[in-house]
Structure formats: structure tokens, C-alpha cells
Structure 1
Amino acid sequence: MRRGRITLLVLLSVLVLCIAPNGYGNDFDGDGKDDVLWYDTSSGRVHAWSMNGMDISKGMNFKYYGTGKALSTGDFNGDGISDWLSQNTQTHKVMISLNYGVDGDGNEDSRDVELEKQPDGNWVIMGVGDFDGDGKSDILWQNEDTYNTGIWFMDGGTVKSVALIDKQTDDSWHINGIGDFNGDGRSDILWKQNIELKDSYAHMVCVWLMDGVIVKSAAFPTKQPGDAFLITRGIGDFDGDGKIDILWQDMNKGTVYTWLMDGEKIKESSGESGVLSDWFVQAIGDFDGDGKSDILWHNPLNGGFAAWLMNGAVIKDKGMVTRFTKGSWKTVPDGSNVVTIFNSRFTDQGDGSMTDMFTGLEWMKNTTPCDPGGTTWGNALKCVDELGNGWRVPTIMESYSLCNKSGVQTGLDLNATEPFAPHYCNGKKSDLASLLNKAGFTNLFSNHYWSSTTANYDPLMAWSMDPGNGSVRYMQKHIAGRVWPVRTRR
């Protein structure tokens, strides 16, 4: 699977704020509490919420960065104030804005530095961390074609040195986060692998304990997530011990788990933190200034934002923060977390497609490019074939992965003989159409969408997916249904 384009750092990244010794939270006003940073991908505006526990104490306005930028943050000059890292998604030029704080009106004081060294188009920024322990952020890169990873060691706006990491992976492993897992003052790398099994798949995670570009140890945690429904939600120091921890959520049940880490070991104090359905992590940071990471949740159905103030795996306090419709506003990462499901599961590629970050499939943004009133199965195949550009009618397993909140392509019995009995992708009825519309898709109806998969027991029937109730079932091929094209990522 190809790694995400650089635009994913804006479009699909969460603000994850490490408070380990070599991590830097987004505290732009210097009050000792992390802020939630926003970037409007439509206008180029940047704004921040100054957090005080579960309250927004004030808003802060930052410079206009323009559209088509990938933004992240870190402390590149070691002055304790977050700086900006941006990359032009067309020219790939990288720039650092060194920040010197904000004035009484919440306006920033900064100096832009365009780096003398620039990457070629095959390298994408995966995150930011202090890999050499000098108190200044460095940049982690990965090559989209070779999957090699490398580090730019930084001193303010100067690239001190560039080197490849001495251990590499194949494309089955994905970077999930960057932080100090063993407390040695140097950033480490969290990897996750999707393992295909006979009838399902599972997850495995691995921690690279780093010393610069040297992998001191590639260690597997004493426990593995296993279940395909268990999704990484972010990393942060939830117990305040100076070592990064991992946040998980079971997308089937909504259960939230916290792994409190000591290197690759999971402490006995780890455990279940709570249960939330239809809520997604929007930010992780120390919002109340107690030295422990907290969680900001967002419900895209009602626009609500809620905070969990954490003490290890225990929620010490929780409550609503505000409500607003995000639209094109996305949270900006501080570079420590590169999991791309927190703002949205999908990213708009700007070419009429939306990439599902769970599967890597590209779905057409216009969900009904053929007859909006519906068409037969045969005409649907013909219509999509005429679109060209790699578009095709999805298989039922691809439709099922879109219908399923965790993106799994397993668990559906293709030999079922009940022709019209719905199979609910998430175990129960769920209005996925509303979620997908809010994610940016257009013309999505609560009706059946064809797959290319013919029913095993009857060649006159084919599988279909209904986002209105989150189900898949058979339909007779002569009945009118809509069609939602997909393509393999180019």
C-alpha cells in the first residue's frame, strides 16, 4: 500500500501533543496548557483554541498560510515555543516559521525560514520528533516508492545533517506515532502492521527504540491488539511518567483502552477508560496543565466536542466543550502522531476522489455519477467503465469495508442464501450516509448501491450496499440501484 501524500498531514491528522521530555505540546500562549490548533483548508486561515481544562479560554489568530499547505508543529530552535513546519503540496518546498509567542490580542510573532535543502517529490513528511536528544525537533521522512525512512536533524531553520534510518520495513508496516517510549530523551517510532488471516485480519504493533538513525531495538509490546476492530486513536503521556502511551478504541463496541507504556512493555495499570460510539479523537494534549495528556473528542453527527481529563487510564473529569460545524477546518498535528483517522477517515485528493485511509481505496467524491434515479446492474457496470481513469464498480468486500466503521473487508458470508435479508456491517442499523456526507462526499443517498459481485447461489442477483442503514444484501440485477465508483490508489 502506498503511503499517504503530504496533504494527509493536514487533511487527516490529529493534533497529538506529547509531553515526554523530548515532546512539544502546542502551547502558543505560554500558559502551561496545550492549545487546539486549526487550519482551514479552504481559506488558508489558522486559528487556535486556548484550552483551560474543558473550557476554551480564548481564541488565537495566526498568519494566513494559504491553501494547499501541509502544516505540522514542533520546537525547532529549542526555545520552548511551538514553531510551524509547512510544505507546499504542489512544489514540495518546506518552510519553518520560528515563533516567539503571541501578543495580548492573540496574534503571533514569527519569522519564516525557507530551508536551503528541499526534498524531491517521492519523500513525504511522516512526523516530527527529537531523535538526537538535543532539545530541538527533527523531521521524519518516508519515501513513497521504496518505503525507506530517513531523518533531517534540525537546528532552527538549518538542516544539520540527513541520514537514512539503519533499519527499514516493507509496505505492510505503517508509522503510527513518534515519541519517547523508554524515557531516554530521544524519540522512538511506533509501527503497526495489518496481518491477513484466512477469514479475517489482525493488527500487530512494534516499537523502534531509537538513538538518532540507529534502531537500538525493534521491540514488540508484551500484548498485541489482535482484533481488526481495535484501532489506534493516538499517543500521549497519560500518566505523566515521561514515557509515551497508546490510546485504542474498539470501533465495533466503542470501548476505549489506554496502554500505559514503559518502553515496549505495557504496565499493569493499563486498562479500559470508557465507552463512546460515533465519537472520534480530535486532539490529545495536556489541557489542564497537570503534566498528563487529555483527550478531545468530536461527534460529527451533532457537532459536539467533549473533553476527557485523564489520570493514567482513569477519566478524572469529563464534559462538553463546545459545538460547531467543522466544515473545512482541520486540526494541525504537532508531528508526534501520524495516524490519519482523527479529523476524518477520508481525505479529499482534489481530483474528484476521496481516499479511505483504512483501506487505501479511492472513492469517487460524487457518489452518484450515473443515473441519479438508479440503473440496472449491467448498465451500472457499463456506465462506470466509460468513466475511465481506473474507476470501476466496487466488489462487495470493498463496499463492505466502506460500510464498516473499522474498514475491515472480512466477516461477510458470501454463501448466504437469504436473498433480501440485510447484513448490518456494524452489527446493527447505523446511519452511515450522514457520516459520509459530513466527511465530504456529495450526492449520497440512503439507498442501495451496486457491487460488482454476483450472488453465489443465483446469477440473476448481485450484492449491494445501503449506507442509509449500514447494511449489505442481494438485489435482483434488473432492479434500479445506484453506483458508487472506486479505484485502486494510483
Structure 2
Amino acid sequence: MALHLRWHGAPLRGLTMRCSLRILWVLVFVCCLAQPCLAGPTTLVWAPSPDSTVTGYIVSVGTSPGVYTQTFDVGPTTTWVPPALSPAQTYYFSVQAYDQFGTRSDYSNSVILPANARLVPDFGTDGTADIVWQHPQGWLSVWHMQKEQLGSAVLLQPAQVTDPNWQVVAIADIDGDGKTDLIWRHQTSGLIAAWLMNGTVLQRDVLLTPSTVSDPRWKIVATADMDNDGHVDLIWQHDGGTVAAWLMNGTVLKDSVLLSPSSVPAGTWRIVGAADLDQDGKADLLWQHPDGWLAAWLMDGVVMRDSPLLNPQKVGGGTSWAIRGVADFNQDGRPDLLWQHVDGWISIWYMDGLSLVDAVLVNPSRVPPGTWKIVGPR
């Protein structure tokens, strides 16, 4: 039996539990889709135990793994609204069942609500990850997905940029309004801008501050909250291999820092996404090598603490298959990898941390080569 945590429609998967009482539940967070998860109403929900001797439940809450500083006897109900949660704090939850004599089950597995948990990259209202496309002629489209199945495809509004030198480089809620936005970079001028969105409709466009960098060899490669302040940050990589982060306050630069380590050999590893790969509440970096090797930097803020290879460690064909996005497509609480082949094929790797669980083709599985390119989520 397993305990799961969902926030904003996406469960954060836990481990198998053993209980002295028979318990079967799914623990989920239900959040207001119109706001960031921790800013809106949050409700803890689980399915009732099938054990007829169970008379109630106790929810335990802590800020460290396995250390619970608060307990709440919620009685026989299977929904509970936690007290005010700080968006800068990681929380750990566990549930016990008890019977009429007060006998408690073992703790369930612990589940995590990470600090500043990122919104699902969703341009609709279903809380599931979507795929963003850009055409070489500037057209923009979103695939609303149900796991690997296309639900519907829509053009953004506006549906096209007149200057195709503007390229979408990242997808993130940069203004903190709970809605996924587009981050752009002009390929010749170096200007950086954001489309602040309401679903698939542009609300307003803004230049970032600063709006450019002097060296065009710096590229935005991912977004993540690297300093746990609740704001999306920009991750940069130089063509020479140096890696850095812009720590942001919305669309305004707060500080720029080099990562530690601060570089990889030029022409080798490239950052292809960022996500919490090891479920510690901190954003990690995903890398792909031109020879097909796959690795992660498990981060503590801007400091790398480990650099394991993924399992499998490598894909054939070098970069013929390229990771184009990172998001939880099957809603198991683990980031999955979205791939696109140079011939137009599209695939998802469903992951368990750093390990592949299943590889599936998206349906539809292909776009004409040299046309539409996946530009997010990442």
C-alpha cells in the first residue's frame, strides 16, 4: 500500500508502508487552480480505510524527514485543511489510523510538499502538464495532454510572432500569479522578454530587467527556484561551459551567481532541464551529452552535492533524441522526460527519480521533421 501526496493535481509519490491496521488510502492536496498552490485554499484528502475497525485518523506534520512536530486528530473524516503553510518551507506529512481502543497503525510513508513547489506547466485548467510548440515561421501552439495522449491542440493568442528570431527558451510562472508564462530570447539582439499569460491568451509582454546580456554566447537553458525564495530563477549556460543563475524577483534580476562547480568542458554536457529529481524539495539540473550520456546534478541551492548518471545512462544516436522538456506527465509526483527526435518523433520517459520506469510514444507520435519544435515545459 502506498501513500501519495498531490498538490495542484500532481501527486508526490511516497514509499510502501506497513501498518498493524489495514489501511488503503491516497493522500492528495487539492489547490485552487487560479493561484499558486500555497497561496490558495489547500485541502488534504485521502480515501477511507476499508478496515471496519478504523474509527479515525491522525495526521502528523513536520519540517524534517521522519520528525513530526505536530499531530492532528481529525476523527473519522478523510479531509483536512492544514494550518497556514509557509511557501518557503518544506513539509512532511504522514497519516495513522486508529481504532476504538486508541490503537494506532504504523506511520504511513512520509510524503513531501517541497518549498516553493512549482506549478504544473498547464495552460488549461485540468492541472496536467502540457506541451508547448514553436514553428520556424513563428507559430505557437499548445498540446493539452492526458499523460502521453493528446487531448486537444490550440494556437496561442497571438498565434504567431512576426520576427522568428524571437525564440521561446523557457516555460514558467515568472510573475507568480499561478499561471504559466513564456520566456523569450531574441537570437540576434539578445533581448530577454516574458509573455505573461492567462491560459493560452497573452495578457501583457514585458522586457526583463536587465533586458539583455552583453555576450550572446550565454543561453537560458532552464528555470527553477534555486534560492527557495518563491520566485522562478533563470539558469544560464555559456557556450564555453560556464553555468550560472539569475536569482529573480519576478521579471527583475535580484542577483547573479555562478553555480558550484561553475563550468563543464566546452562542447560537452548541456543543461536540458531542471526539476526536483530526488524529492528533497530542491531543484536539480538535468544534463545531456552529445554522445547520448544522461546525468543529473543533485543540488543544494546553487551548489552541486552529487552528479549521478541516469538509469539508463545513455541513449543511442547521440543527440538525435534530445530532451526537450521535464514535467510530471503521469501525475505520480516524479518528473518525467519529454523527448523529440530530429525526424519528428515524440516520446516520454516515465521516471522514478533517476531511473526509467517506462518509455512510450506520444499519441500522435510524430510531427513533420524540421517544422514544429518542442520548447517546453522546462
Q: Into which bin does the TM-score normalised by the smaller protein fall? A: 0.5 to 0.7
Q: Is the 8 A contact 2:11 2:332 kept in 1?
A: no
The amino acid that maps onto 1:140 is: I
- Tell me the secondary structure at the aligned position of residue 376 of structure 2: coil
The amino acid that maps onto 2:223 is: V
- Tell me the secondary structure at the aligned position of residue 261 of structure 2: coil
Q: Give ranges in structure 2 of 5+ residues lacking alignment.
A: 1-9, 13-113
Counterpart residue number, 2:281: 185
The amino acid that maps onto 1:127 is: A
Deviation for aligned residue 1:175: 2.9
Who wins on radius of gyration, i.e. which is larger? 1
The amino acid that maps onto 2:371 is: S
Deviation for aligned residue 1:287: 4.3
Out of 161, 171, 193, the residue aligned to residue 65 of structure 1 is 161
Q: More helix by proportion, 1 or 2?
A: 1
The amino acid that maps onto 1:331 is: I
Out of 140, 146, 149, the residue aligned to residue 52 of structure 1 is 146
Out of 158, 162, 165, the residue aligned to residue 256 of structure 2 is 162
Q: Is the 8 A contact 1:37 1:331 kept in 2?
A: yes
- Tell me the secondary structure at the aligned position of residue 41 of structure 1: coil
Q: Is the 8 A contact 1:98 1:156 kept in 2?
A: no
Rounded to whole Å, the distance in 2 between the matches of 1:319 and 1:206 is 23
Counterpart residue number, 2:45: none
Counterpart residue number, 1:374: none
Rounded to whole Å, the distance in 2 between the matches of 1:144 and 1:317 is 32
Q: Is the 8 A contact 2:222 2:271 kept in 1?
A: no
Counterpart residue number, 1:36: 131
Counterpart residue number, 1:209: 298
Deviation for aligned residue 1:82: 1.2
Change (3 A) 1:40 1:152: same
Change (3 A) 1:76 1:165: same
Out of 204, 215, 219, the residue aligned to residue 111 of structure 1 is 204
Counterpart residue number, 2:84: none
Deviation for aligned residue 1:76: 1.4
Q: Is the 8 A contact 2:273 2:326 kept in 1?
A: no
Rounded to whole Å, the distance in 1 between the matches of 2:265 and 2:365 is 42
Change (3 A) 1:27 1:223: closer
Counterpart residue number, 1:84: 182
- Tell me the secondary structure at the aligned position of residue 236 of structure 2: strand
The amino acid that maps onto 1:159 is: L
Q: TM-score, with normalisation over the residues of structure 1?
A: 0.44
* Aligned-pair identity (%): 26
How is 1:141-156 mapped onto 2 (pairs within 5 angstroms)?
141-145=236-240, 147-156=241-250
Q: TM-score, with normalisation over the residues of structure 2?
A: 0.55
How is 1:43-442 mapped onto 2 (pairs within 5 angstroms)?
44-53=138-147, 54-63=149-158, 64-66=160-162, 67-71=164-168, 72-99=170-197, 101-102=198-199, 107-117=200-210, 118-120=212-214, 121-145=216-240, 147-168=241-262, 169-171=264-266, 172-191=268-287, 207-215=296-304, 217-221=305-309, 225=313, 230-231=314-315, 250-251=316-317, 285-287=327-329, 289=331, 291=333, 310=350, 312=352, 313-315=356-358, 320-321=363-364, 324-325=367-368, 327-335=370-378
Rounded to whole Å, the distance in 2 between the matches of 1:297 and 1:213 is 26
Deviation for aligned residue 1:131: 0.7
Deviation for aligned residue 1:219: 3.6
Rounded to whole Å, the distance in 1 between the matches of 2:286 and 2:167 is 22
Deviation for aligned residue 1:86: 0.3
CA RMSD, aligned part only?
A: 3.8
The amino acid that maps onto 2:144 is: S
